[in-house]
Structure 1
Amino acid sequence: MPSAVRFGVNYTPSQGWFHHWLDFDLDAVRADLDSIAELGLDHVRVFPLWPYFQPDRALIRPRAVEQLVQLVDAAAERGLDVNVDGLQGHLSSFDFLPAWTRTWHRRNLFTDPEVLDGQAAYLRTLAAALADRPNFLGMTLGNEVNQFSAGPHPDPDRATADQIDAWLERMLGACEKGAPGKPHLHAEYDATWYQDDMPFTPAQAARHGALTAVHSWVFNGTAQRHGRTSVPTEHHAAYLIELSKAWADDPHRPVWLQEVGAPAPLIPAEHAAAFTEATVSNALDCPDLWGITWWCSHDVSRELADFPELEYTLGLLTNDREPKDIGRTLARAARDHTYAPAPRTTALAVPADPAARSRCAPGGDVFEAFFRLTADGARPTTVLDTRASDRDHLAARGITEVVTSDQVPPTPQGGTRT
């Protein structure tokens, strides 16, 4: 039976960006949410900035928490569900970390006992404040917090994979204590899947939390290498969805495409709508997709300084809350889509060893083989090389054929047909 996929957007306030928490204006938030609801979307992901909400380890500002609740209630009035990110963390090239973790108080975000206590208290407090709201979808621990744990961050908080395991378990547990039974999760940028020395691993992404989140950005080398209308660029989000399934223990674990956007100039403004249509259509061909949440709702105001150029134009709507072509495209998909993907019966074997993740990255043999298969119409998924002969696992996922990257023949233009 066809079913609905959730369609939403990452909420970037039209006034003041995420600094709006410093001058919270509920009427402005309501107007923003009206413009989102008018697109026919059903949820938003919102971002309290951690140092604004918890400026001292022992102070979680009640007024800030109250304002978050007001935002969630305003969303409910407009038929919008809300997922709340906790530890911001990192957004649009800026780091937002409380002073009690930096410089003179430098402590590791993932291993210091006092920092862990403060983080857990904060996440538990936010979750508890929203636990009785029927439109509260649950907590995401933070936005791409893995970028703090390794290079290329200029001052990383180093940790081992085992320490990250413990951190994830404790923080997700804190969310559960605050709001029992809600689908809490964590989310990382694609270094989790692609970077050999990243302590946040694919297995953690696919096994911790209620569902797997993937963030798809084609400025990671995909569009540079293959071009804006190539198979890899237009199917990159679908690739990450299917790549994540290799590590999942649940053969039908839901996957949330939690961030995806059309970054200029790799995706020029005049091509953004076509890229959006292709990306969404290809993601909808992936079984077990929970939802698609676009980045982002409103453009960043040109009155704000020092953002990378691409960040200013990613919105579905302008600063004046007018829908752009990309917004109208996503609105049509949300309104008109049918979700009934056939099983993906061909699986490409991927290395279970996290030290070999770069094979799955742009330019790696697994990455390139996946898109050669895609260009040939094979609709591939992935399976760990350690599970490639596990008949029960393959049967549970509907896989009837497993191939390795060296068994995939070349296709015209190396799988990058335009």
Structure 2
Amino acid sequence: MRFGVNYAPTRGWFHHWLDFDLDEIRADLDSLAFLELDHIRIFPLWPLFQPNRTLVRPRALDQLAQLVDAAGERGLDVAVDGLQGHLSSFDFLPAWTTTWHRRNLFTDPDVTAAQAAYLHALATTLADRPHFLGLTVGNETNQFSAPPHPDPDPLRPPDAERWLRRMLAACEAGAPGRAHLHASYDIAWYDGTHPFTPAHSARLGARTAVHSWVFNGTAQRYGPAGAATGLHAAYLVELSKAWADDPTRPVWLQEVGAPAPHVPPEQAPAFTETTVEAVLDCPDVWGITWWCSHDVDRRLADFPALEYGLGLLTNDRRPKPVGRALARCIRDSRGTPAPRPRTMALALDAGDPTTAPGRATCAPGGAFFEAWMRLAARGRRPAVVLAQRADEAGYLAARGIEEVVSL
């Protein structure tokens, strides 16, 4: 099990690339030592790295390499996101994709060629660094493809798959053999009209990434201390496995955090411990990467209120109670045996396995969500299988499933 954090710089947030200061970055990374983490995930801002369609700035690539090297010197492996894209409610898109140059991010041939070239440049820059884990195509890039985004770039599921395959191929060409993947926010699992599907997440790339945020209706419906709130991350991990072709495909809990007021600060340590304990009971989890390292400087304007206080450390680099709770979880997890297979599975009928038009049943409050949570709250450790595979003896055996229960 790997434990890491999404690195949010203390000085300037992700705008720090404009005033790159390696000493400040080193101080940030040093402050993480208390937490005993083994990796970070970092976020180049796409418009700053590729301000023109045919220009990827060499100085920006050099600064990226310096950050990765600084992390490696401190024993931290580094995962790098590419197309940022979207971060903490803000969109960062190059000028050559907007307004007078408005083009579809996923289907325009000039845009997609430039995206592939940019990802290839990032990968090539880092390919020979031993602490480089791999690229994520971008942070929740699926949010640009459909509502509730105010200006979406529409596409169909086959278009989304073609785009993902091309971007992942560019990553692999630049840094062969690294763990390249893509990441969607949870609408991909919960909305049957969304063009990015569970099959895309669970079948493309080296790992399945899930982002667990209980402000999606879970904490509002079940309360900050409700069983479903503490189990939400584990639920997404197990839900994702239903679509995977590989029965042992690794799942990365790439984002999870304790957002106030949905999880009040005084309850954040308990939420953290409950969440981590539940995920540690899921087989085939590659790692847990908390959002985020440091609080956002409150002098920066216009963030949603919950974004300011998500750090494990304060903006002046002091560990918070939630950070101390995660550190305890990390220490307590050492030497524990791998989780046993989940021998009972709940059958999920979301319609066609490729497009899953019935995904709404998986969302908080949906019939499948409720059924899984009832079983889990009773200690039953449910896995998830698609109804179409519920009778495949070889597949079930490969996952260690001995009993399939239907709704």
TM-score band w.r.t. shorter chain: over 0.9
What SS does structure 1 have at the residue aligned with 2:137? strand
Any conservation in 1 of the 2:256–2:290 contact (CA below 8 Å)? yes
Task: From 114, 129, 132, give the equivalent of 2:128.
Answer: 132
Cross-structure match for 1:377 = 379
1:377 & 1:121 partners in 2: Cα distance? 48
Query: After the TM superposition, which parts of structure 1 deviate over 2 Å for at least 4 consecutive aligned residues?
Result: none
Cross-structure match for 1:332 = 328
Cross-structure match for 2:28 = 32
Q: CA deviation at 1:352?
A: 4.3
Cross-structure match for 1:261 = 257
5+ residue gaps, structure 2, are: none
1:24 & 1:249 partners in 2: Cα distance? 42
Q: What is the Cα-based RMSD across aligned positions, in Å?
A: 0.7
Cross-structure match for 1:318 = 314
Any conservation in 1 of the 2:190–2:361 contact (CA below 8 Å)? yes
Q: Please identify, of 326-335 and 146-155, the stretch whose mean Cα deviation from structure 2 is larger.
A: 326-335
Cross-structure match for 1:293 = 289
What SS does structure 2 have at the residue aligned with 1:349? strand
What SS does structure 1 have at the residue aligned with 2:345? strand
2:168 & 2:131 partners in 1: Cα distance? 20
After superposition, residues 5-84 of structure 1 pair within 5 angstroms as: 5-84=1-80
Kindly, what percent of the aligned residue pairs are identical? 70
Any conservation in 2 of the 1:352–1:386 contact (CA below 8 Å)? no
Q: CA deviation at 1:73?
A: 0.2
Task: From 107, 115, 134, give the equivalent of 2:111.
Answer: 115
Q: Please identify, of 335-344 and 271-280, the stretch whose mean Cα deviation from structure 2 is larger.
A: 335-344
Any conservation in 1 of the 2:350–2:361 contact (CA below 8 Å)? no
Task: From 158, 170, 173, give the equivalent of 2:154.
Answer: 158
What SS does structure 2 have at the residue aligned with 1:128? helix
Task: From 102, 105, 122, give the equivalent of 1:106.
Answer: 102
> Which digits, 9 at most, give the CA deviation of each residue in 1:243-291, with x for residues without a partner?
0000000000000000000000010011111100000000000000100
1:350 & 1:69 partners in 2: Cα distance? 44
Task: From 337, 341, 344, give the equivalent of 2:342.
Answer: 344
Any conservation in 2 of the 1:227–1:233 contact (CA below 8 Å)? yes
Cross-structure match for 1:412 = none
Cross-structure match for 1:409 = none
Any conservation in 2 of the 1:343–1:398 contact (CA below 8 Å)? yes
Task: From 178, 183, 189, give the equivalent of 1:187.
Answer: 183
> Which digits, 9 at most, give the CA deviation of each residue in 1:24-80, with x for residues without a partner?
000000000111133100000000000011010011111111000000000001000
Cross-structure match for 1:413 = none
Any conservation in 2 of the 1:150–1:158 contact (CA below 8 Å)? yes
Q: Please identify, of 341-350 and 44-53, the stretch whose mean Cα deviation from structure 2 is larger.
A: 341-350
Any conservation in 2 of the 1:37–1:79 contact (CA below 8 Å)? no
Structure 1 position 241 matched with structure 2 position 243:
no
Cross-structure match for 1:403 = 405
1:189 & 1:394 partners in 2: Cα distance? 28
What SS does structure 2 have at the residue aligned with 1:291? strand
2:305 & 2:190 partners in 1: Cα distance? 25
Q: CA deviation at 1:372?
A: 0.6
1:201 & 1:36 partners in 2: Cα distance? 35
Task: From 75, 83, 86, give the equivalent of 1:90.
Answer: 86
Any conservation in 2 of the 1:12–1:297 contact (CA below 8 Å)? yes
Any conservation in 1 of the 2:51–2:95 contact (CA below 8 Å)? yes
Any conservation in 2 of the 1:284–1:339 contact (CA below 8 Å)? no
**How many residues matched?**
401
The letter of the residue matching 1:381 is: A
What SS does structure 2 have at the residue aligned with 1:109? coil
Task: From 366, 369, 392, give the equivalent of 2:368.
Answer: 366
Any conservation in 1 of the 2:86–2:140 contact (CA below 8 Å)? yes
1:345 & 1:153 partners in 2: Cα distance? 40
The letter of the residue matching 1:351 is: D
Q: CA deviation at 1:219?
A: 0.5
1:347 & 1:247 partners in 2: Cα distance? 13
5+ residue gaps, structure 1, are: 406-418
2:337 & 2:285 partners in 1: Cα distance? 9
Cross-structure match for 2:298 = 302
